Amino acid sequence: MAMEAEASSLLDSLSAVVVHGTPPLSVKWFSAERHGAELLVALNGRDRRFGVDSIGTDAAVLNTYAVIERFHPDVVVSAGTAGGWRRSGGEIGDVYVSDRHVVHHDRRIDLPGFSEYGIGRYPVLSLQNMAAQLGLKIGIVTTGNSLDESEPDRRMIMASGAVVKDMEAASVAYVCLQMSTPFVAVKAVTDLVDDHTPTAEQFNTNLTMASRRLSEELLRVIDWLIPRELAQLD
């Protein structure tokens, strides 16, 4: 997870306790036990220079790699808030589960072979049955390092068919693919990209509510995953 505010409701519900991180990285790790399973909540932590949460792809890659190296998790979940679109039926507070693959929308490399490399198209666990049972929306998640959506971004997003926009999922999935670790994203919508209200304003208004929704649905997802063999999911 990227932001402390996104995680606080989940950490409370899990009665999670601090785990020693991996200095000098700013990561903040917490552990909890649930129905016999060991959970690790790994936040990217605060940027030492800028004093804000370490959002975006770089910090997500570092944290994901450090966690997989240390804990060898059965599954990694990129959890957080995200933008949705009215045109895809998105509503504030919706919780989406990633489907098919995750992509990047701001890595445009018009050279042979590199276009596809830039987009990434990393695999995600196939959890359509789970989403149907839990009443969660599913769709392609797209990642970029900006909160806004530029015109070139918009064109990439239209082409990929993505319905959820964040700043971390594809980079976490990239590390998971390198490390052969199953991956899924669970994202709660704080803002609608195609609404006339500026994204940052929507984000600030809805962050608390969306983080609570994220925590509620993430716990249902975790409870669904715990008793299942990963082999059953793929």
Q: Which residue is nearest to ligand SAH (CB)?
A: 83
Q: With respect to ligand SAH, which residue has the nearer C-beta, 154 or 228?
A: 154
Q: Is 80 near ligand SAH (CB under 6 A)?
A: yes
The reply to whether 12 belongs to the active site is: no
Helix axes 169-178, 57-71, angle to 10 degrees: 40
Among residues 53, 149, 166, 191, the one annotated as catalytic is: 191
* Residue 30 Cβ vs ligand SAH, minimum distance, rounded to whole Å: 18
106 binds ligand SAH (CB under 6 A): no
Residue 70 has φ and ψ, to the nearest 5°, of: -80, -40
**Span of 7-15, 34-42, 74-82, 132-140 interacting with ligand SAH by CB under 6 A:** 74-82
Looking at 6, 53, 99, 106, which residue is catalytic? 6
CB-wise, 1 or 67, nearer to ligand SAH? 1
- Burial category of 48 from C-beta neighbours within 10 Å (exposed 0-12, middle 13-18, buried 19 and up): exposed
Q: How far apart are the C-alpha atoms of 132 and 53, rounded to whole Å?
A: 33
The Cα-based distances of 214 to 106, 148, 170 in angstroms read: 25, 22, 19
6 is catalytic: yes
Rounded to whole angstroms, how far apart are CA atoms 162 and 104?
10
Nearest to 162 by CA among 83, 63, 49: 83
Is residue 81 near ligand SAH by the rule CB under 6 A?
yes
- Contacting ligand SAH within 136-175 (CB under 6 A): 147, 165-168
Least distance to ligand SAH from the beta carbon of 132, Å? 25
218 binds ligand SAH, rule: CB under 6 A? no
Residues that bind ligand SAH (CB under 6 A): 2-3, 55, 80-83, 147, 165-168, 190-191, 193, 199-200, 203
Residues with active-site annotation: 6, 191
